């Protein structure tokens, strides 16, 4: 189990590295969006390629940072119900969700996205808009996202199995009955209180 946990730590480090660096593309997308808007208003001209580049950058962040979201336990779930359940039940729900839903879903989407991308690449598919970008790089994101999600899913399954076996502490203990937003609000209130004389 320790060897598997070592593998899991390496996967987690990779997902964190990729997620942190790619999240900076939001700033690039904002700059491009602002620049495009300014040019459109001031010079009365626009570029479809810049508009489409914004969409692609958003897609890169949304799709390729999804493994980091999964690692950070920030993916969508029904927290109201989840936090009322015992830790062991939450652990089994996570394990079943990863094994029976996340992994098969990612594998099926990967299976269908490869020919989808290859067909677009072979045709050198271009945008329908004048001056737009090639479409195949954006279509490759689906395939890359699935590979990254499968790899991070393996890490999550390893960690969840170790938690259920009692090898490592359950990550749900740290969250307690509070959401991340509630914990952050409490931290801010404590910081504001400590600044007062």
The series of mean pLDDT values per 10 residues for the chain, 197 residues long, is 87 94 93 88 82 91 92 73 76 89 96 95 88 89 96 93 82 57 61 57
Is 189 domain-assigned?
no
Is 196 domain-assigned?
no
Is 36 domain-assigned?
yes
CA-based torsion, 142, 144, 150, 155: positive or negative:
negative
Is 195 domain-assigned?
no
Report d(CA 62, CA 172) in Å as an integer: 25
| DSSP 8-state symbol, 73 | T
**Which long-range contacts (C-beta less than 8 Å, at least 24 apart) are formed by 32-41?**
32/57
Is 47 domain-assigned?
yes
Q: How far is CA 57 from CA 66, 86, 94, 116, 159, in A?
A: 14, 40, 30, 20, 31
Is 190 domain-assigned?
no
Residue 102 confidence (pLDDT) = 93
* 46: Cα within 13 Å, side-chain hemisphere: 12
Query: Which SS3 state, helix, strand or coil, does residue 126 take?
Result: strand
- The domain total for the chain is 1
Q: 61: which 2 tokens?
A: 């962040």
DSSP element (H, E) containing 28: helix 25-42
Q: Find all residues with CB under 8 Å of 29, minimum gap 6, and list them.
A: 53, 54, 57, 58, 61
Name the percent of the chain in helix, strand, coil, to the closest 5. 80, 0, 20
Is 123 domain-assigned?
yes
Structural domain range at position 169: 2-178
Is 16 domain-assigned?
yes
Residue 197 confidence (pLDDT) = 47
63 with 149: CB under 8 angstroms? no
| DSSP 8-state symbol, 134 | B
């Amino acid at each position: 189990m320790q060897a598997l946990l070592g593998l899991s730590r390496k996967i987690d480090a990779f997902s964190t590295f990729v997620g942190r660096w790619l999240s900076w593309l939001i700033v690039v997308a904002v700059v491009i969006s602002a620049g495009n808007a300014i040019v459109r208003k001031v010079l009365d001209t626009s570029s479809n390629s810049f508009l489409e580049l914004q969409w692609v950058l958003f897609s890169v962040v949304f799709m390729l940072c999804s493994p980091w979201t999964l690692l950070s336990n920030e993916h969508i779930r029904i927290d109201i119900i989840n936090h009322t359940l015992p830790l062991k039940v939450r652990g089994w729900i996570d394990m079943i969700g990863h094994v029976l839903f996340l992994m098969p879903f990612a594998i099926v989407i990967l299976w269908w996205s490869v020919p989808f991308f290859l067909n677009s690449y072979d045709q050198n598919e271009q945008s329908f808009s004048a001056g737009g970008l090639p479409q195949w790089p954006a279509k490759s994101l689906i395939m890359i996202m699935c590979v990254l999600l499968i790899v991070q899913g393996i890490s999550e399954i390893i960690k969840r199995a170790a938690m259920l076996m009692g090898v490592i502490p359950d990550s749900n203990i740290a969250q307690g009955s509070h959401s991340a937003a509630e914990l952050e609000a409490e931290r801010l209130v404590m910081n504001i209180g400590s600044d007062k004389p």
